[in-house]
Amino acid sequence: MSSLTRLVLVSAIALGLGAGGGLVMSLNRPAQAALPAMIDGQALPTLAPMIERVTPAVVNISSRTRTRVRDPLLDDPFFRRFFGVPNMPQERVEQSLGSGVIVDAAKGYVLTNNHVVQGADDISATLSDGRTLKAKLVGTDPDTDVAVIQIPADNLKAVSLADSTRLRVGDFVVAIGNPFGLNQTVTSGIVSALGRSGLRGLGYQNFIQTDASINPGNSGGALVNLNGELVGINTAIFSPSGGNVGIGFAIPSTLAGDVMQQLIRTGTVKRGSLGMETQNLTPDIAQMLGVAAERGAVVTRVQADSAAEAAGLRPGDVVVGVNGKPINNEQDLHNAEGLLPIGSDIELKLLRDGREITATTKLTGRDAASAEGQILDPRLGGAQFVELGERQRQQGLRGVAIARVAGGSRAESNNLRSGDIVVALNQVDIRNVEDLKALSKRQPRQLLLTVVRGQNAFFVMCE
């Protein structure tokens, strides 16, 4: 019997179809809910054994964020005393749900999305066996939307990371997560595309696209191959309605693994830079430069002592390829810079004066300004302030980000959290770390920070 005949036979048995195509109902025997184990002497294909092995490594993540809600009247001592209002700030508590993947059972490390745990005060993870464990935030990287949390390592099961660079369009994949709060949900599909970028509101982009059903709550969950190996972290969907339409995106496991190792080692991620500024090639610019290309990134400025200068690049060059991959626009070049490890060999394909040339260099580290809160002001002790990431700048934000907040510190008691963005000090706008340092040097008696946390903006009075 051919495989096609067996498939038709299996379908007929599953639907209860007779030889004439009609629906057959027998009253002489009880209904059978399950398919037979064998057809034509061969076992029916199933993903159940793999899913049973992987599911214990996927957790449901619940995070709670407390935001102070202040009212000018409640800050007035006379008003509080006259009306008997307690001397404490009111709070608004927001809760979000997502998923995560245990990748190190011995140490309890869990990979998830930054947007699942960003700014959270309390994070908990619920395992497939029903246990709910309090989690500690290890580090986050908003630019790739990767975060690492840690849970107590007691009888945990982990999933191994596959080499996602070996994925091909058409490979079968399975998504496991917590969509709409429905625990341990499994969907399947194929890899629809690789290297997706250009999604609004996201930083460094090199996504796996899949038609496996991904919905809100799947964020941070596992995308695995048929061997049960992690190939991606589910992170976003394209949907006009907010629900699944068959276009989901996952962070490749190789990228997520590299970010995870840096977060575990240092709590932050260092990225490389070619040391040049670029813009998209337009037809007008192409005509002015005398190049025939329709796509590429035009070099507008080359920094001194940079990798670009060492490679001999100059303003007016059009970058059309990096390490054999096409560069269609500024975002493609930006992705290549941010996703390649520092020290990587870079081969640039350029158009200059109508000719195609090749330049080689090494990717150097990007100097990122930072400041320790204790040095700026004792009331900020325990917080580390860093420049905003690319994703945050793309969202139109200006200010400085809080990379970490030490437990039990004054910064924590003042309601500052890792992932917060400070946009003003005493209602004076902050653009970068240097602005924060300059304003702090004035040693203001009052220290009022304007903080953005998630979708909320509020004041924090540091004491």
Q: Please choose, from the candidates 341, 285, 273, the residue with its C-alpha nearest in 3D space to the C-alpha of residue 313.
A: 273
- Look up 145 and say whether it is catalytic: yes
For 141, the token pair is: 């990287």
Instruction: Tell me the C-alpha distance between 185 and 233, whole Å.
Output: 15
Residue 123 CA: distances (Å) to CA of 98, 100, 308, 455: 11, 12, 43, 18
Token readout for 216 is: 């809100």
Span between the terminal Cα atoms of the chain, in Å = 80
- Would you list the DSSP string of 5-51? HHHHHHHHHHHTB-TTSPBP--SSS----S--SEETTEEPP-SHHHH
Annotated active-site residue in 62, 99, 115, 143: 115
Of 99, 141, 143, 145, the catalytic one is 145
Q: What is the torsional sign of CA 347, 350, 356, 357?
A: negative
According to DSSP, the β-strands at 207-210 and 248-252 are antiparallel
Among 315, 317, 314, 306, smallest CA distance to 352 is for 317
H helix runs in 88-214, sequence order: 114-117
- CA distance linking residue 435 with residue 273, whole number of Å: 23
Q: Which two tokens stand for residue 193?
A: 């595309």
Question: How far apart are alpha carbons 377 and 381 in whole angstroms?
Answer: 7
Q: Mark whether 284 is an active-site residue.
A: no
Catalytic residue, chosen from 164, 219, 273, 440, is 219
User: Is residue 429 flagged as an active site residue?
Assistant: no
Q: Provide the H-helix boundaries in 22-125.
A: 48-54, 77-83, 114-117
Q: How far apart are CA 449 and CA 405, in angstroms?
A: 15
Which H/E stretch holds residue 308? helix 307-310
Measured at the CA of 275, the angle between CA 273 and CA 279, to 5 degrees, comes to 100
Name the residues annotated as catalytic: 115, 145, 219
